[in-house]
Amino acid sequence: MIPTNRIKLAMRENRKAYGVRLTFPAPEIVEMLAPAELDFIFLDCEHGILDMPAIENVCRAADLTHQTLIARIPDIGTGTITQFLDRGVRGIIGPHIETLADAKQLADTCLFGPDGHRSFGGGRGTNYQSGIEDMPAFLKACNESVLVGAMLESAKAVENLDDILTVPGIDYLMFGPADFAQDLGYPGEPSHPEVMKVTHAATARIHAAGKPMREDIMAFTGVKNLLVDGARRFVTDQ
């Protein structure tokens, strides 16, 4: 049984999915958030402090509470993507996508054939290779449950954007504002007019190609924001 990807469900229902971002291993927080009925948990594994056992435990908590677990991974190497999917991650965000080859590598490694060349293993992401009566149907269900996002973080990515947009299997795109601004020569100024000019122009090209941006399909906040805002309300109300 492959859990429903709640972000893809929201896309089909033409609504935004809502979630929270974690940069540290906290399955307990995932469980505590269950009454909020969030759609997803976003693990930042490029900058966060999460190893594979911790990632699997957070995935387990998300599955048990019907929240979809997505992760920004540290790189788009085949081994990296395979490890995350085998742990049970349902959405892969590939950082620093700059070329057609990068985009193909990302999508190809996330999807089983005939759509890609994802390696099949016996981890929890593929039900520990048990109870699978119809393997082709199972692999198709796995592909349908995986959400693939490409992160654009450089001028080179914009130069190659038309090529990147031709790659099937990528569900949405996004900018990494801080790194993108830095690469354009404006470190620490993601809202600089020149940065925003390039961002808006690229976004228009993405929409014209029929692809959504992350902001079109999901919204999230950091768990730190939830904790601080809640603490402030508690103090204010006393």
Among 140, 143, 127, CA closest to 63: 127
CA 193, distance to chain mean position in Å, is 27
pTM of the model: 0.95
Torsion region of 5: left, alpha or beta (phi above 0 gives left; psi -120 to 50 gives alpha): beta
**Predicted pLDDT at 99:** 98
133 occurs within a structural domain: yes
Calculate ∠ Cα 62-66-71, nearest 5°.
Answer: 40
Range of the domain at 215: 6-237
**Predicted pLDDT at 122:** 83
**Predicted pLDDT at 34:** 95
125 occurs within a structural domain: yes
Residue whose tokens read 């049984």? 1
What is the tally of structural domains in the chain? 1
- 4, two tokens: 């429903």
Rounded to whole angstroms, the Cα distance separating 90 from 72 reads 11
94 occurs within a structural domain: yes
203 occurs within a structural domain: yes
Instruction: Identify whether the C-beta of residue 167 lies closer than 8 Å to the C-beta of residue 174.
Output: no
With a CB cutoff of 8 Å and minimum separation 6, the contacts of 161 are 152, 202, 205, 206
**Predicted pLDDT at 105:** 98
- 222, two tokens: 């950091």
Find the CATH number of the domain harbouring 21: 3.20.20.60
1 occurs within a structural domain: no
Rounded to whole angstroms, the Cα distance separating 121 from 137 reads 16
18 occurs within a structural domain: yes
Among 166, 127, 120, 173, CA closest to 148: 173
Average pLDDT along the chain, 238 residues, taken 10 residues at a time: 93 97 95 96 96 96 97 98 97 98 98 97 90 94 97 98 98 98 98 98 98 98 93 90
**Predicted pLDDT at 6:** 98
Instruction: Identify whether the C-beta of residue 115 lies closer than 8 Å to the C-beta of residue 169.
Output: yes
